[in-house]
Amino acid sequence: MYTISQLAKEFHISTRTVRYYEELGLLDPSRSEGNQRVFSKREYARLKLITRGKRYGFQLDEIKEMVTLFDKDRTGTKQLQKTIEYGTKKVAEIDERIRELNELKDEMNELLTDFQKRLGGETHDYDT
17-72: pLDDT as tens digits: 999 999 999 999 999 888 899 999 999 999 999 999 999 999 999 999 988 887 88
pLDDT confidence of residue 120: 85
CATH code reported for the domain at 1-56:
1.10.1660.10
pLDDT confidence of residue 71: 81
pLDDT confidence of residue 124: 64
**Cβ neighbours of 54 (radius 10 Å):** 15
Distance CA 121, CA 114 (A): 10
Alpha helices, H only, 3-40: 4-11, 15-23
pTM for this prediction: 0.74
HEC sequence for 65-123: HHHHHHHHCCCCHHHHHHHHHHHHHHHHHHHHHHHHHHHHHHHHHHHHHHHHHHCCCCC
- Alpha-carbon 105 to chain mean position: 25
Where are the domains positioned within the chain?
A: 1-56, 73-128
